[in-house]
Structure 1
Amino acid sequence: MSTWPDVVALELLVAVADHGSLAAGARAVGMAQPNASRSMARLERTLGVTLLHRSTRGSTLTPDGLVVTEWARAVVDAAQRLADGVSLLAHDASRSAPLRVSASQTVAEHLLPRWLADLRREHPESRVQVTVHNSHDVVQDVRAGTANVGFIESPGSPAGLHHAVVARDELVLVVPPQHPWAGRRDPVTTAELATTALVTREEGSGTRTALDLALGRPAMSLLELPSNAAVRVSVQSGAAPAVLSRLAVDEAVAAGTLVKVRTQRHLARELRALWGGPRRTQGLAADLIAVAQRSAPATAAAL
């Protein structure tokens, strides 16, 4: 064998063994299945060994593949130790640099301040720079390397980035007290919501993306506004109903300036941390993600 096997392909091979199929292994390592199939084919050509038994029911390891997998585990573990060690060295070399965080509006307004306060208590010397965007732009920040870690509200996980669920949120339908739906007893159906002009967040925001996905079509937007606060004020003024994070409307509902209306479909979503580079985060980024995850039960308790 004249060339070294691809470590990423070996990691995929180990994931296939651990998860039972090529499809499941690909999901575990965050790789699209067509790319996973090509990666395994290249690995087989490099090694000169058939690793997978392919059938219409999926791809599983051959006996030779099982043997190679056990050898591959040591290589993958060593590569992970190398990546972690280099990452720690890089962190030590730049420990005076601030942690760059990019966060979506709902996270930045209602969750991140508490997370950063907890992080500060654990690391009094830490410095953090925060940029607030919609979820689409947060992803771009992390991909471009201008943020060490990002927090988004949009459903799913962007390709090419590592992610972890840090909290769960609920989207709620709100109207002003004088709206006909304010005293409604039966829930608003998904069909009604889809055909009602709403005050919405802009395209690219996690709230808008989650709403469009729940409706199965783009929401009918009477007004499209760039912040939760602007949407909330517009609804309070009587413009139209809106669907916003519970976190963004709880105070207004408690004060009686907005009324929460039941919907036929429960609109829940996951809030995620995103990062590039090694699969396991290091330093302040890892600590901030851990703080967010520890805070998650309180975030979800009211759902």
Structure 2
Amino acid sequence: MDERAITLQRLQAFSAVYECGSITGAAKAMSVSQPTVSKHVRDLEAALGVGLFLLQRGRVVPTAEADFLYVDSRFIGEGLRRLRATVQDLHTGAGRRLSVISVGLLAQRHLPRALAALRAAHPALSLDITLGNALEQLAALRSGQADLGFCAGLVEAADLWRTRIGRGKLVLLLPRDHPLASQSSVPEAAVRELTDCIAMPGDRPLGKLARTLLPDLEEVAGSITCFSLEAMLPLCAALGRPAVVDSFTAAQISPDGPLVVRPLDPAPEFNVYAFSRRPPDSMGMPARLITAMTTTLAETQ
């Protein structure tokens, strides 16, 4: 017996003929030609050294040897059908759930766009979306409560896998009537002289970077520290005070609103990272979302 000649295609053709009772029916079930089915069956008979079908009154009748062989080949067919169903589920996301946690500055534009692209390709994928600062993200990833996190700025987590997916800049947010609003860009020296800026907390990734421009704000009487970037824009507008923020948050400003954005000279840059507990499978849903986020960030720079 030539075991190398017992191929999957030949076993599939044999099982189809056995189940359909004809070469014609098997060819239709397999979406191949009748000569192809006949050849597969003949080649399998030659490899096994036994006859599998007899032609009686125009009908294909299985032999006793075929009855024995079908018991095992049927399980191969069922396994292939389960495999096809599993592959289909992998493509649609059926039965899969992806838990994502992101900083708020990416939640207005980039994360929704990336998730929309992922769901368009995998409509049956279930998603859990949470917003959290960098410390909350790292804790969720380490505890297994999240599969994937998106952070920005100076984030240290040597025990987690990370990859850079984009870059951002710090910019100056100003009331429209502020003296610096008339400038096309604002030098760092001018920012350092501001004493009424609303500050980001210095223990946060972007706050650490902003404090290189505004190191002593907390020592100023009447200082304000905002722990939520989502609240920074309305706070600046209501109080009429400037703030150093990231370019993603600043992109939400209405052109006709009470605030304007001015670039800094030089512009402090920061990285945007994707985090997970271990390197994601290149074909898995986390990796695909990372790719979608990278594309979205690149398109909106």
- Cα deviation for residue 256 of structure 1 reads 4.0
Amino acid aligned to 1:215 = L
Q: Relative to structure 1, is the Cα distance of residues 209 and 280 closer, same or farther in structure 2, using a 3 angstrom cutoff?
A: farther
- SS of equivalent residue, structure 2 residue 264: coil
Taking the aligned partners of 2:269 and 2:290, their CA distance within structure 1 comes to 21
Give 1:177 shift.
Answer: 1.2
CA distance in 2, matches of 1:279, 1:116: 17
Distance in 1 (alpha carbons) for counterparts of 2:183 and 2:115: 40
Question: How much does 1:278 deviate?
Answer: 4.1
2:120 maps to 121
- Structure 2 counterpart of 1:270, one-letter code: N
Distance 2:183 2:155 in 1: 33
Q: What is the TM-score of this pair, normalised by structure 2?
A: 0.61
Q: Which moved more, 1:147-156 or 1:196-205?
A: 196-205
C-alpha distance in structure 2 between counterparts of 1:141 and 1:218, whole Å? 32
Verify the 8 A CA contact 1:202 1:226 in the aligned structure 2: yes
* Superposition deviation, residue 245 in structure 1: 2.0
Inter-partner Cα distance in structure 2 for 1:270 and 1:167: 6
Cα-Cα RMSD: 2.9
Q: Using a 3 Å threshold, how does the CA distance of structure 1 residues 218 and 279 change in structure 2: closer, same or farther?
A: farther
Q: Which amino acid aligns with 1:246?
A: S
Aligned residue identity for 1:245: D
Q: Determine which structure has more spread, i.e. the larger CA radius of gyration.
A: 2
1:285 matches 2:286: yes
Tell me how far apart the structure 1 counterparts of residues 193 and 277 of structure 2 sit (CA, whole Å). 36
Question: 163-172 vs 221-230, which deviates more?
Answer: 221-230
Partners of 1:135 and 1:204 within 8 A in 2 = no
5+ residue gaps, structure 2, are: 1-85
Residue type at the aligned position of 1:207: L
- Is 1:152 aligned with 2:151? yes
- Check conservation: 2:185, 2:262, Cα contact below 8 A: no
Q: C-alpha distance in 1, partners of 2:136/2:130?
A: 10
**TM-score, normalised by the number of residues in structure 1:** 0.60
- Distance in 2 of aligned mates of 1:299 and 1:126: 26
Deviation of 1:200 after TM superposition, in Å, equals 2.6
Rate the CA distance shift 1:216–1:235 in 2: closer, same or farther, 3 A. closer
Q: Deviations over 1:231-258 (max 9, x none)?
A: 1112112342111122222342522421
**SS of structure 1 residue aligned to 2:266:** coil
Aligned match of 1:133: 132
Aligned-residue sequence identity (percent) comes to 22
Matched residues, number: 209
How far did residue 296 of structure 1 move?
3.0
SS in structure 1 of the partner of residue 291 of structure 2: helix
Q: Are 1:258 and 2:256 an aligned pair? A: no
Q: Residue 189 of structure 1 aligns with which residue?
A: 188
Q: Secondary structure at the match of 1:277?
A: coil
Distance apart, 1:150 and its partner CA = 0.3
Moved more, 165-174 or 176-185: 176-185
* 8 Å CA contact retained: 1:167, 1:270: yes
Q: Is the 8 A contact 1:166 1:289 kept in 2?
A: yes
Task: Give 1:187 deviation, angstroms.
Answer: 2.5
Matches for 1:155-166 after TM superposition, within 5 Å = 155-166=154-165
- Contact (CA 8 Å) 1:152, 1:272: kept in 2 or not? yes
Question: Cα deviation per residue 1:13-34 (whole Å; 9 max; x = unaligned)?
Answer: xxxxxxxxxxxxxxxxxxxxxx
Residues 214-241 of structure 1 deviation map (CA, whole Å, 9 limit, x = unaligned)? 4384654822223223211121123421
Paired letter, 2:133: N
Structure 2 distance, partners of 1:282, 1:125, is 16
| 8 Å CA contact retained: 1:173, 1:262 | yes
The residue type equivalent to 1:177 in the other structure is: R
Give the 3-state SS of the residue equivalent to 2:251 in structure 1: helix
Q: Contact 1:211–1:219 at 8 Å: present in 2 too?
A: no
